[in-house]
Chains A and B, each alone.
Chain A
């Protein structure tokens, strides 16, 4: 086994000279790789003392800080499974994740301990609440040895569980092994020539698969990571200034974040000459703002990456230049070398170029499945191949041999890059007292995409009560921006909910301004 088949491998076996290079930058905090390594070992020892063992799940309900990165490495060193959560998720959302993951422990900062306690209340498991030591508390700095670490972490051990929206009202956890992640990292480091001279901006939260490149790809290349925390990402002008001040070289985010940077970042007033590579993934980048961005940042490399959490990036399109006025959309490109990507029809046969089919991915980066959901995991396999994944995304091969994304035929949508199952939102809304039926649709395009819920109630229900109920259970992006109460949901002849009719009602209520699709685009 090569150490580089383990996500934390670069910390176990750093490159020559790497230990003295910067690893993490956050505000005025700067950690060298030596520091990150020492902290990670110390936290691993701290966790081990508290009973964390190989393949135990540990939820990280921690803010984006260097110490959180060290905790991720520490868990991986122990052979444990890291389950990153969003510190802003409501307690009930967290509790459903906890019920699903069955963690041994939840790592939380002191000020969030009460939320963590509330999340554990009533769940069948009773994980330990581990209040994470303050940055400068005694104890963590004193241990700098990996003598206590188990030697037996294997590349096929599950390393991470990334929770995403589920089709029922519960979130589902995508398990990723060390090998799943490192096969992607090896590809990305090679493809984009990442070196120890690079400085990657970490925009995505740690429960997003994009963050694996920012954190672990940087470590693999000996590069450094500029952590943008939850507050920083709210202020695009501040982010642009940080890129300039810290001379960041690589940006990777959802298009929405780049559009905010373009609209509110005062890019013209900043010296962003250090930035050489802009990567985006997670949703379709509308061409007008992309063209503007490429004009504002000339002579940079831009690449459109595609891939669900279950496979991480599986196709890549490097833009040859600013898309011309005749271009209507951006290709998602060609398969990455470490994966096989095919477009298949309903019989599982390859379709000829130009014909649409489902994107099916096979190979080393494909998830072994959803945590604790064998049937759902197997339902996503193609032709019984356990290392394959049917994405549910539809595409065709164009005349240049590039894949072109078309959309989905189910209820999964992307709201500013956040994968959201409309049925999860419906499930939560249906559990609100007084609601008898509901159906959620997507409205708007690009960054102005939001959810609209049609609700049938048994009695008078205040819209505010509906919103509050959703805020209790769902992450913010999944909370509908408006609730339209109607007498009954329109149905088709076969009794299915008539989405077309609902879209019509929506257009009426917005005076024809609306373009809702009920979930057919990504």
Chain B
């Protein structure tokens, strides 16, 4: 499970570094994505689409709150919780 979490985190970090963040900004698992205004609303919507496609999860609107997206680590945790729920047939939609 831990390695799955690591893989998820790495893919998310890769995406943010590549697609969203300005090149001069260092992004790590605990970088606050919201305080530094790294993402804008368009980047955020793209991030959600990326997560849903890449990890085959469906993130319910109720999950799209600042607390769940503060850091790449938190996002990875959210994805794993919901991917696991999905395997048991309990994905919120």
Contacts and interface: CB of A to CB of B under 8 A. Distances in A.
A235 B65 contact: yes
Contacts of B43: 476
Contact of B45 (A87, A231, A260, A266): A260
Contacts of A265: 61
Nearest to A90: B22
User: For this complex, into which size category does the number of interface residues on chain A fall?
Assistant: 20 to 34
Interface in B33-73: 34, 36-45, 48, 61-62, 64-66, 69
Interface in A252-301: 257, 260, 264-266
Interface residues of B, number: 25
A468 B24 CA distance: 9
B18 interface: yes
A196 B48 CA distance: 38
A379 interface: no
Nearest to A470: B23
A88 B62 contact: no
A13 B45 CA distance: 43
A190 interface: no
Contact of B41 (A111, A260, A266, A471): A260
A280 B48 CA distance: 25
A236 B40 CA distance: 13
B9 to A, nearest CB: 20
Interface string A76-93: 000000000001101100
B42 to A, nearest CB: 6
A472 B22 contact: yes
A471 B37 CA distance: 15
Contacts of B24: 90-91, 472
A234 B41 contact: yes
Contacts of B19: 467
Contacts of B38: 88
A63 B42 contact: no
A483 to B, nearest CB: 12
Find the residue from B23, B39, B66 having the highest chain A CB count within 10 A. Answer: B23
Contact of A234 (B21, B22, B39, B62): B39
B34 A231 contact: yes
Interface of A: 63, 87-88, 90-91, 111, 230-231, 233-238, 257, 260, 264-266, 416, 464, 467-468, 471-472, 476-477
22 contacts: A87-B37, A88-B38, A90-B22, A90-B24, A230-B37, A231-B34, A231-B37, A233-B41, A234-B34, A235-B64, A235-B69, A237-B61, A237-B62, A237-B64, A238-B65, A264-B64, A467-B19, A468-B23, A471-B21, A471-B22, A476-B42, A477-B40
Given A90-B24, A234-B44, 17 more contacts: A88-B40, A91-B24, A231-B37, A234-B39, A234-B40, A235-B65, A235-B69, A236-B61, A238-B64, A260-B41, A264-B61, A265-B61, A468-B23, A471-B22, A472-B24, A476-B40, A477-B42
